[in-house]
Amino acid sequence: MKLISSPAKAWEEISMEEDRRKVFMAFVYPMIGLCGLSVFIGSLLTNGWGGPQSFQIAMTNCCAVAVALFGGYFLAAYAINEMGTRMFGLHSNMPLTQQFAGYALVVSFLLQIVTGLLPDFRIIAWLLQFYIVYVVWEGVPILMGVEEKQRLKYTLLSSVLLILCPAVIQIVFNRLTAILN
């Protein structure tokens, strides 16, 4: 919650964590699970509780979100790490980049939980998705060590990757599911 309310203070605390891989078990995986659960429940509420069809739709939607967030997280972290080394001259540090990407996705996770339960808020959530730019903006110099003159470019590119990677994976997953059904 601190990443949402005061990102600069939260990034300071995160930068002091010694174990960079703690983000997986302590934050990313539980959040993906909560997102999947909210989508499952929201899908059952939307499509009704009766019949195997509603459970199949709920499970498919749940899986789409889980695969999109899981794959999008790792894809975005990899792309941000590569971007940092090639475009900004940073040293390759995958655990640090995964920590950064995991915590930066807090906005996406929370919005996915809300829209999973309340799908009518999807347009508002899409607009609020861009709050991730501010969260990333605050974390870039503290955690990633990006110089001030490159901060805006790094922030924008990282934010685009963090927003688009899960979205693209979810679109591809949903299309493949529709084709294979």
pLDDT of residue 106: 96
Question: Would 93 be classed as within a structural domain?
Answer: yes
CA distance 105 to 97: 12
pLDDT of residue 181: 77
pTM of the predicted protein model:
0.92
Question: Would 56 be classed as within a structural domain?
Answer: no
Question: Would 26 be classed as within a structural domain?
Answer: no
Domain count, the chain: 1
Question: Would 71 be classed as within a structural domain?
Answer: yes
Question: Would 70 be classed as within a structural domain?
Answer: yes
Question: Would 87 be classed as within a structural domain?
Answer: yes
pLDDT of residue 105: 97
Question: Would 44 be classed as within a structural domain?
Answer: no
Question: Would 14 be classed as within a structural domain?
Answer: no
Residue 133 is part of which domain span?
Answer: 64-175
Alpha-helical (H) ranges within 2-145 are 2-5, 7-15, 22-23, 29-47, 51-87, 94-104, 106-117, 122-128, 131-139
Question: Mean pLDDT in each 10-residue stretch from start to end of the chain (181 residues)?
Answer: 92 92 92 97 89 89 96 98 96 96 96 94 91 96 95 97 97 93 77
